[in-house]
Structure formats: C-alpha cells, structure tokens
Structure 1
Amino acid sequence: MESQEEVTPPRWVRPPSSRRVVARAVQFVGATGAVFSVLPPRHHHFTLLADMIPTAGMITARVAAAVVGVLLVYLGAGLRRGKRQAWQLALMLSLLSVALHVVKGGLVPTIFAGAIAALLVAERDEFTAAGDRRNRWRAVRACLTFLGAGFALGVAEIAVRVNRLDGHSGVLSWAEHAGLGLIGVTGPVHFQSPVGALTVSVTTGAFGLLAFGSGALLLLRPSTGEQSCPVADQTRLREVLDRHGDGDSLGYFALRSDKQLVWAPSGKAAVAYRVVNGVSLASGDPLGLPSEWPRAIGQWLADCAEHGWTPAVLACGTAGGRAYQKAGLDVIELGDEAIVDVAGFSLNGRPMRGVRQAVARIRRAGYTCTILRQRDLPAETLAEAMSCANALRDGKVERGFSMALSRLGDPADGDCLLALCRDEDGVLRGVLHFVPWGRRGMSLDLMRGDRTAPNGLTELMVVSAIEAAPGFGVERISLNFAVLRSVFARAEELGAGPVIRLWCRILRAASKLWQIESLYRANAKYLPDWEPRFLCFPSARDLPRIAIAALSAESFLPARGTPAA
C-alpha cells in the first residue's frame, strides 16, 4: 500500500468541453422556444390538437412555453458547472417544452426540445456536482408560499363574484378552479362575464408561474458552504499559526468569522476560503506546514469540483502562487504588499522628508500616540477605541476580506497591537489595529483617522508603531496592499512606453472610485520593500466572474440576494 507521502494530491482538471457544449445548446433551445412562443402563429402544425384544445389552453401553453424557455436559458450557467440539479431540471423542462410546443403548435421548437432532451440523457454522467441542501428547503418554502397566496386569492376572487356565476357551484368547486388555475388549466366554475374568468385565470396563473420560477431559481442558487468556521477549527488554526505563521502576513486573517477551512488529511495544513456567488475564493497562501500545502490544496479543489464551485485565490504570495500553479491553476500578478523592515527604518534622509515634516508638525500640535497590546488595554480604553473606530468608519460598510479581520476587541485577539492617537485635549482621534504575523511580525488590519485632524495624523500613528515595534519583538510590519503597483512605478520611469502610460491613466481614472493610486502613494512614502501578490484562477474566461466575486467579498460591490446559477 502506498504511504500518504507517496500519494499524488489532486489537481484542478478543467471541466470537459462537452459540458459547455450541452449548456450552450440548452440555452439556445430555451431562447429559440421563448421566441417562437411569443411570435404570432401563422398556422397550426398540429391541426388535430388545435381542434381538441380550447383557445384558453392554447394561450396557456404559449405562455408556459415562453417561461420554460427562459428557465432553460437560466439553467445554462448551472449546467456549465456540472450541477446535477441543473441537469435534472433541464431534462424535466425540455420534456415539458416538447409537450407544450405540441399543444400550442410548432414543429421546429418541438424538434429542438426533443433533441436537447436526448442530448441531456446521453451526457448525464458529466453532471455530478452536488447542490446545497438548504436551497431545496428554500425552494420548497418559496414555491408553497406563492402557491398558497395564489390559491387564496383565486378563491377570494371567485367568492366576491358569487352572484355572477353560472349554475350553483360550492366552495369545493371554487377550490378546484383556483388550484387548476395555478397550473394554467380552466376549472369547473363558469362566470357570466368573460372579464371575471380572465381575472381569476391571470391571478392564479401568475402566482403559479412565480411559484415554480422562484423555486427553480432558489434551487439552483450557488451553495455557500457552511456559514461560519466551527470553534474547533478556529482553535486548531490558531495552533497551526503559532507553529507556522511566519511565512505569510495574511495568515491571521484566516480567522475571520466568514471564512471556512478545508484541511489536508494530516491536519497540518489548510486552505481558508469563502464561497461568493459560486466562486470558492481563497485568500493568501495555504496555512500550515509548506510540505502539506499540495494536499490541502487538493482537498480544496476536490471540494470545489464536488459542489460545482469555481476555484480562485486572491492575494497569495510567491510560495503560495507556485503551489497553486502546480495544482493546475493559472497565476497572474495582482499587486504588491508594502513591508517595512523595522531595523532599517529611519526618518532621516531626503526621501523621508515629507513623512518627517508631517510627524513633526502634528507632534507640535500636541498629538501623542501610544502602542499597546489589546490584552494590556484597560476595558474602558478598549471600549473607547472600538467606539472611535466605528465613529470614524468611512460609510456603513466594513470593507475587506483578504487583508482585514473585520472585528475589534475580541478577547481571542489579545496579541493584536493598537496604536491610539490623542490630541492635546486627550481626545482619541485615530486608531490603528495590527494583527500578529507569526512571532516576529505584524500586519496592518484597520486604519481609522479623524478627517478633521491636522495633516500628519496617519503618518504619526504609522511611525509610532514602527518605532515601538522592537519593544514587542516585532521585526517587520506589513502595511497594506497596492493593486497593480508596478504599473504606476513603471509609468514613472524614464522611457515608459505608450501602453504603460495608457494603462496608468486608466488606473488613475479608476482610482476615483477605488483609491488604487492613493493606496500606493500612502504606502510608498515609508520606503517599504514590495512583495508581489498574485491572483490564481482556472481559466481566462472565469476572470470576470472571479472579479465580481472578489469585489463583492471586499464589499466594493453589493452582495446579490439571489446569485445566478
């Protein structure tokens, strides 16, 4: 038997092209069926059925065929990811589409729908990705809610027209009529006025469509995995970080409450990730023993394949990028992380003139800064810092995912460092929060400053933290991350080409929304070392979807309530 060390960890395998072909074919047939359903009929291909089915039934079949076509278009995204539930629904809807097109008349869409049903059966083994069981119950609840509302409204509309009905029908007949109306079938109740019959049919039919449409959408909603990391995993991860946390400055951010962990079989390495709109978004390097990284990555990729998630890694380092590349992902440079060497930092020299003058100016204004570990802060001071950080937040949204902890004051984070800046009256005007980076470093997590304070507040807090670092055994400080920093740096060099200059102008325009250039300038003034960070992804066609997921995770885009399948 092979030992664990000899087992080759799984690699990311690109989905078969046949799956993509089936998805595109289903979407094409769905779109074609929807178009044929709304076009005015020229003649009936099935004259026998046309004579047997009333006009109301024909209209119902046309509307239902259009809805089925739209749902088939929607199902294409789930089919591309190999979702078993998407395959099941697509097969059921394609067969239903055949029946509906036969009823309403239409040879071409009937042939198309039958062909796609046969294709789905032939390629059934390609669709094995599991869905989220919670989505099933959400779909059932939504479907039952709309069906119940439509049924109740249908019965009520019949009841208010009780004096305008033909014949004597009881409550059971009303209920039967409303129930059949939910699926587009005419019931036993007869109205004196065609308008009354049409009103009841439209109401019940609309709620029936809403019920089945919303159920299908929720059923195919991408799985999000577990909502939070179990306490046992958090404790286990802290132990791993204590032993192997020196490698990656982002390791401590894996302790965010919204990140999940997948472990190597040995339990000595893990990948931290969050599922956003069907993208399993990992951040930073894998955690733990580097020799076990391939197995942790393999477990994560196997989990992605099982659930139909698209794997992506945001802001990993060079070592992590190589590991993910060996596992089958593509890698591109995303930006650079600013790291300050504490021992080599000095305010002396012309390059540091701006920072030196800013710090001197605000100190003359009476501002002071103290650096303490969170566990050493009195309870009232910690509460004051938390209140100040909340008050100084820029907007209501807490931004950050890959390089933010998104909490302050948790007793479990006692090793974190806080820089508290007060004015001449002792009022707290700024807060910096640093998380541990192994045993000899710290990473900037949160930076809040009063915008009404004099210029130099941020410089004073950063410089004070760097100057105090040796007393806490800190040798290096990760300040922040600058997206596409190399573009700005190369554009400033002598002889920069037109492509680089154009790319720089585009980024400067984008900086008006996302502060890309300002983050680079804010970090560069401290003359840090720049360490590259990378984005890992399966293929170029996945990049738009990954970009949207990353921006949503970082809270630059609102999270969608019902993500697309």
Structure 2
Amino acid sequence: MPTATRLRALLTRMVMAVVTNLVPTLFAAVGGLYLLLGIAELVGATEWFFNEPAGTSITFADLLLPLLGVALVGIAVGLKQRRRDIWLLSVGMIAGFTFVSWAPLSAVSRGGGGMDVVALITNLALVGSLLSTRNRYTVRGSNLMRASVYLGWLASLAVISGVYWGVSMLVLDVTWDQARTYSLGDPTSTIDNLQRLQLLATIAFFVACLAFLIRLLKSLRPDDVRLSVAATRDLLRRCGADSLDYFVTNEKKRHYIWRDGRGLIGYDLANGLVLASGNPICAPQHRATLLNDFLHDMERDGYVVAFWAIDQTLADDLGNRGFRTVKLGEEASLEVDRFSLENLGARGSALKRAVRSVEAHGIEFAFYRLEEVPGHVYSQMDDLDRSWLQEFGGTDEKGFSMTLSRLPDFEDQDAAFAVALDPSVPGLPRVVAYLSFVPVYNRNSYSLDMMRRTRQAPNGINDFLLVHTLQVIGYHGRDTVSLNFAPLAETAGGPSLLGRAANALPPSLKKTFYIDSLYAYNDRFGPDWVPRYGAFKARRDLIAIVRMVAKLEGAIALDWRRRLSRLIAGSNYTITRSPPVATRYAPEVTDDQDS
C-alpha cells in the first residue's frame, strides 16, 4: 500500500473514531435531556423554570417527551454496545412517535393547533436513515463503517429539517413563535369526539411503548448476551471442522460476522493491523465468498490484513490472492485407534514408567464430559486455574490462536476434562492436575486446551493424564485428539526459514515461546504432524505482525502488570458458575490395557 494511501487511511480512521464515539454520546445526551424535560413537565417543574403560568395544561407532546428520551438513549446503548436488539427496539419506538405525530387526530388532541409537522419530518428522516442502513452498521466493528452510517443519519436529519425550516421561515415568512405555536398547538380548545378517539389510539400507543420498554430492559440482562454465544456454537456444530475452530470463542478475539451469522472469522485489531486467527468458519461452498468479503471490507477501510495459524488449503488460497505465506510450525494430531505404547518403542517405555510412577502415589484417573463433572471437582479445577495464573502470569491466560483463555463452563456443553485425583486426602478426593479438551465438530475429535497441575503433583502427571485419555477417549465417540501447536517445528525435511531463525534465538526466548519443549513433548506420543501457516501481504508489515502475535500469545508481559493482576485476583474472585453435580467416574485403566 503506498505511503500516501496509508496516511490517508490513518487520518480517516482518526476522524471516524472521533465521530464514532461522538454520535452515540449525542444520542444519549439528547435522549437524557428529553427524558428530564418530560419528567419535569409532568411534575410541573417547568412552570417555575420557564416562568410559565401556574396550572398550564399538559399537552400530548409533553406525554411523549420522556418516552422519546428513552428511545434515543436506547439507540445510544445499542450503538455503543453493538446490541442490535436494543437498537431495533428503540428505532421501533421512534417509528411509533412518527405514526402518532403525523396522525390528523393528534392535532385535535393538542387543541386544534394542526399536525406536528416538525416531529413528522424529523422522525421520518431519523427512522428512514436508520432503517436504510440497519445491516451496514452490524457488519463488523469497523470505526470507518459505523461512523459513515452515523454521518449519514446526521446528514439526513440536517438536510430534511433544514429544508423544512428554511422554506417555512424564508419563503412563507413564518416566525419562530408562529412555528412553535403551529407545532405544539393551543391547549385551550375544547374536547370533542375526535379527541376522545385519539385518546384511545394514544393509550394503545403507550401500551406498545411500555412493551418496547420492558423488552429493552430485559435485553440488558446478562442472559441475553449468551444468545450470541449460543449462535456461535450452533455455527461451530454445523461448520466447525478444523482443530482450532472452537477457539474462536476466546474472549480476546473479535468476530467478523458474515451474512447474519452464516459465517465467522476470529481476529484481533491493533494499530491498523487485523490479525485473523485460524480458518474461516462457514459452509465449504461459502468459504471463498466469505474470504472475499472479509478482505474487501478490511482493506477498504485501510487495515493491513494478516493471517495466523491457518491450514495448508487456506494458505494456498491466500497465496493465489497475492499473499506471502510462511510455515509457522506444526500441530500434533493423534489417531486414537493407532495409539499404542507398545508401538512407540523407547518412547512408549518411558511413558509407561511415568504412568506407573504416578500410580504408585495412589493417583486415580477420571474422564468427564462437562455435564458429568462433580461440583466439588469443578470448583477445585477452578481454584487450581486461578492459582496457576497468579503464579505464572497474572489473571490473564497466555495464548490466542489455540486456547479458550478460560476454564470451560456450562456454555461449553461438549467440552471434556481428564482429571488426576488424590483420594488419600481426608474428605473429598483432591484434584492435583487436569487437562481440558474442546470439541472439533464434524471430525469426531477433541483439541487439547489447558494443562494444569499443583506443585505437589508427582512428576509425569501430564503423561499419566494423556496416556489414560488416549486409551479411553474412543469410548466417548472421538477418533482423534489434537495436541499442542509447536511453533517453528519442522518435521518434513530440513528446517524452514523461520526454523533456522529460531535456532539462532537465545535460550531465554526459546523458553518463552516453548519452541523446543512443546515439540519434544508432543513427539513422545508418536503423532502425525500437521503444518500451520501464516500469511501477509508485505514484508514491511512483519515487525508489526510479530509484535502483535507475541503480545497476544503472552510472550510480552510486563512485570508490574503481573504483580498488579495478582493483587487484584487475590481478593475479588468468586465462583459463580458450576456444572450440574454428577458422581459417575470413568473406569480405571490398568497396566494390562497399555496396548
């Protein structure tokens, strides 16, 4: 991308960011003002403030004013929180105000002053501009796209309202007082049958507004936030086929939602760089279209796009689109039916010794699906996860591309755990280590997520858990297990360019990125190695990409942030979620089942 274009895109993003934050604030401010004025009018406070005669009648417009304020505040909340349900409900309320304001009977209800033409014009402009762009602003969280829509709304209101007032005051020679009287009406007129009919319509409208308001308040509850989570998991069940797909639910990732949830790409955004992680999640026949739309939308807004941890097929596709691809490492994948300690030779013997050493300490193995985990076991795993993070990395889990960065909870219905239990502790068995797995739909597979252990756990505890898991997981309907992604690993021939660069790294950095240890550990189980790639357009973007990946994967962590996060996590943590209690343990695995 030329330098002039990049500068132009940067300036555009800065301006649009200001507008994006300003417009919801304006909606909230105006809505709050209307709400306060409406309440003040209803309680009679404006008689003193505006020096109005005592006992001034409350007009129909006075009753609508607080509800109009609620609707405008609702629009602001919907825009700021990207809640389409709140936004649509608020727009519906505005549409209701438009219906009432143009109705001829409203002129009678306000005392014969005529239709509220000002409300008619402004509300029609607002509703029309909102509805005409209802799909554009929800495409993604791009400041440029959302700000352009906001500016379209403001322009529509300004142009239409300006034309109306200009024609009224300049051409027809209408003064401000006359326009105000024409708009608000004269409340001294008598009541007739038409006004009574309008009153019935008004009551119906207020009932509808009350229903909108109740739905608006309900949509603010945390339960409704999980609707989007449920939609993501439904998409994964239908289209998830890659071992990294489920990690799109990582809370660090943003979502590019394609065509109302028919496709999804997980990414993060920083300093004008969009880093997409993993493959697009959609039906195979839609993959090319989803990728086209994603690249078009992001590059149109001036973002630099890169991909991380993608498979060979997507790497080849991006190569044909002008991207440079580079091998990042390899992922270990184990077929359950083929796994046998006897066939691993010396590696199998070493694993057997590790398993028997752990069993000599009286440690027992259990494998649970999420709904089967006993409540006390889940609570102990949660405590172990918290203490692990405090000791090794603060409150944030390392990782971006191949981790949930959290303990699976009741929303992860198809997750599973392999748990090492110490029954020698008085009371309930104590959790000394566990592994968490997430599903790979459409492949009957699991992906390994977290590995946790206490300091008191015997050596070889992870070997113990993995060996027993691989021996029993077939009974749970799984054919393969995906282990850790080993960065910069190279098993096919000689090392790649990145592999040669990794060999030149100092030992401290190799330890930070787990370059040597992950490959050596995974290779002990005799897996198949699946390559993973990265893709980028220009070499000059490499530094920004590497820096962003290092930060997301946890390689860059400041000591003061870790200390602060440990202090915060030490006192304010409570367990709020636990799966249903169950008592069924997985069957024990003995030495004669090693093969």
- Which category describes the TM-score, using the shorter chain as reference length? 0.5 to 0.7
8 Å CA contact 2:408–2:415 kept in 1: the answer is no
Residue 236 of structure 2 is aligned to residue 241 of structure 1 = yes
Q: Which letter maps to 1:235?
A: A
Change (3 A) 1:502 1:323: closer
Does the 8 Å contact 1:313/1:536 carry over to 2?
A: yes
Aligned-partner Cα distance in 2 for 1:386–1:315: 28
In the alignment, the residues of structure 2 paired with residue 418 and residue 301 of structure 1 have an alpha-carbon distance, to the nearest angstrom, of 37
Q: 1:136-535 counterparts in 2 under 5 A?
A: 231-246=226-241, 248-265=242-259, 267-348=261-342, 349-393=345-389, 394-396=392-394, 397-425=396-424, 426-439=429-442, 440-486=444-490, 490=494, 504-506=503-505, 508=507, 510-535=509-534
Report the Cα distance in structure 2 between the residues aligned to 1:430 and 1:338, rounded to whole angstroms: 22
Cα distance, 1:405–1:85 mapped onto 2, change above 3 Å: closer
Cα distance, 1:501–1:358 mapped onto 2, change above 3 Å? same
User: Retained in 1: the 8 A contact 2:328–2:498?
Assistant: no
Which amino acid in the other structure matches residue 237 of structure 1? T
Q: Please give the alpha-carbon distance, in whole angstroms, between the structure 2 residues aligned to 1:301 and 1:253.
A: 21
State the AA in 1 paired with 2:319. Answer: Q
Give, in angstroms, the shift of residue 269 of structure 1.
Answer: 2.6
SS in 1 for 2:556: coil
What amino acid is aligned across from residue 453 of structure 1 in structure 2?
A
Distance in 1, matches of 2:507 and 2:520, equals 12
The number of residue pairs the alignment matches comes to 357
Structure 2 distance, partners of 1:404, 1:498, is 26
| Aligned-pair CA distance for 1:454 | 2.0
Q: Please give the alpha-carbon distance, in whole angstroms, between the structure 1 residues aligned to 2:295 and 2:555.
A: 26
Q: CA deviation at 1:224?
A: 11
Q: Distance in 2 between matches of 1:445 and 1:541?
A: 33
1:83, distance to aligned residue in structure 2 (A): 3.5
In structure 2, distance between residues paired with 1:239 and 1:344? 31
Identity, in percent, stands at: 27
For the residues of structure 2 that align with 1:379 and 1:132, how far apart are their CA atoms? 48
What is the DSSP-based 3-state SS (H/G/I as helix, E as strand, rest coil) of the residue aligned with 1:481?
strand
SS of the residue 1:332 aligns to: strand
Deviations 1:269-297 (A, max 9, x none): 32121213332111111102122112211
1:419-471 residue CA offsets vs partner (Å, 9 max, x unmatched): 11123523211011100011500001111112442211010111121112111
**Does the CA-based 8 Å contact 1:264-1:293 persist in structure 2?**
no
**1:524 partner letter:** D
Cα contact 2:367–2:469 (8 A) shared by 1: yes
* CA distance in 2: counterparts of 1:266 and 1:330, whole angstroms: 31
CA distance in 1, matches of 2:514, 2:312: 25
**Alpha-carbon distance in 2 for matches of 1:251, 1:343:** 23
Q: What is the alpha-carbon distance in structure 1 between the residues aligned to residue 497 and residue 249 of structure 2? A: 43
Q: Is the 8 A contact 2:308 2:533 kept in 1?
A: yes
Quote the Cα distance in structure 1 between the aligned partners of 2:417 and 2:397: 18
Structure 1 counterpart of 2:351, which letter?
Answer: V
How far 1:230 sits from its partner (Å)?
Answer: 6.6
1:483 Cα offset (Å): 0.6
Alignment RMSD (CA, Å)? 3.3
Q: In the alignment, is residue 79 of structure 1 matched against residue 7 of structure 2?
A: yes
> Residues 16-165 of structure 1 correspond to what in structure 2 (within 5 A)?
17=2, 20=3, 22=4, 79=7, 81-84=9-12, 130-131=16-17, 133-134=19-20
Change (3 A) 1:424 1:266: closer
Deviation of residue 324 (structure 1)? 2.9
Contiguous gaps of at least 5 residues in structure 1: 1-14, 24-77, 89-129, 141-221, 492-496, 560-565
Contact 1:263 1:296 in 2 (8 A): no
Letter in 2 for 1:298: N
For residue 538 of structure 1, what is the amino acid of its counterpart?
Answer: K
> What displacement does 1:265 show?
3.9
TM-score (norm. length: structure 1): 0.57
- Superposed CA deviations along residues 315-343 of structure 1, whole A, max 9, x for unmatched, are 01112222333343221100000111111
Consecutive unaligned residues in structure 2, runs of 5 or more: 27-141, 147-221, 559-595
Question: Aligned letter for 1:373?
Answer: R
CA distance in 2, matches of 1:480, 1:270: 23
Cα distance change, pair 275–230 in 1 and its aligned pair in 2 (3 A): farther
CA distance in 1, matches of 2:356, 2:19: 60
8 A Cα contact 1:388 1:431, kept in partner? no
Question: Deviations along 1:26-84, whole A, 9 cap, x unmatched?
Answer: xxxxxxxxxxxxxxxxxxxxxxxxxxxxxxxxxxxxxxxxxxxxxxxxxxxx6174542
- Relative distance call for 1:136 and 1:280 in structure 2 (3 A) is farther
- Residue 546 of structure 1 corresponds to 545
**Cα distance per residue 1:494-542 (max 9 Å; x no partner):** xxx9997785243655313332111111111111110000111121110
CA 462–507 in structure 1, closer or farther in 2 if over 3 Å, else same: farther
Counterpart Cα distance in 2 of 1:325 and 1:543: 16
Q: Is the 8 A contact 1:488 1:504 kept in 2?
A: no
CA deviations on 1:80-103 (whole Å, 9 max, x unpaired) are 7454256x7xxxxxxxxxxxxxxx
Task: Determine the C-alpha separation between the residues in 2 that align with 1:352 and 1:223.
Answer: 54
Give 1:548 deviation, angstroms.
0.9
Partners of 1:419 and 1:85 lie apart in 2 by: 47
* Compared CA separation, residues 407 and 301, structure 1 to 2 (3 A): same
Query: Is residue 537 from structure 1 mapped to residue 536 from structure 2 by the alignment?
Result: yes
Specify whether residues 225 and 285 from structure 1 end up closer, same or farther in structure 2 by C-alpha distance, changes over 3 A only. farther
Change in CA separation of 1:395 and 1:498 when aligned onto 2, cut-off 3 Å: closer
* Structure 1 residues 452 and 350: alpha-carbon distance in aligned structure 2, compared to 1, 3 A threshold: same
Separation (CA, whole Å) in 2 of partners of 1:479 and 1:407: 17
- In structure 2, what is the equivalent of residue 204 of structure 1? none
Show CA shifts across 1:235-270 (max 9, x none). 333222112222x10111111233232244485332
Contact 2:277 2:307 in 1 (8 A): yes
Aligned pair in 2 of structure 1 residues 391, 296: CA closer, same or farther (>3 Å)? same
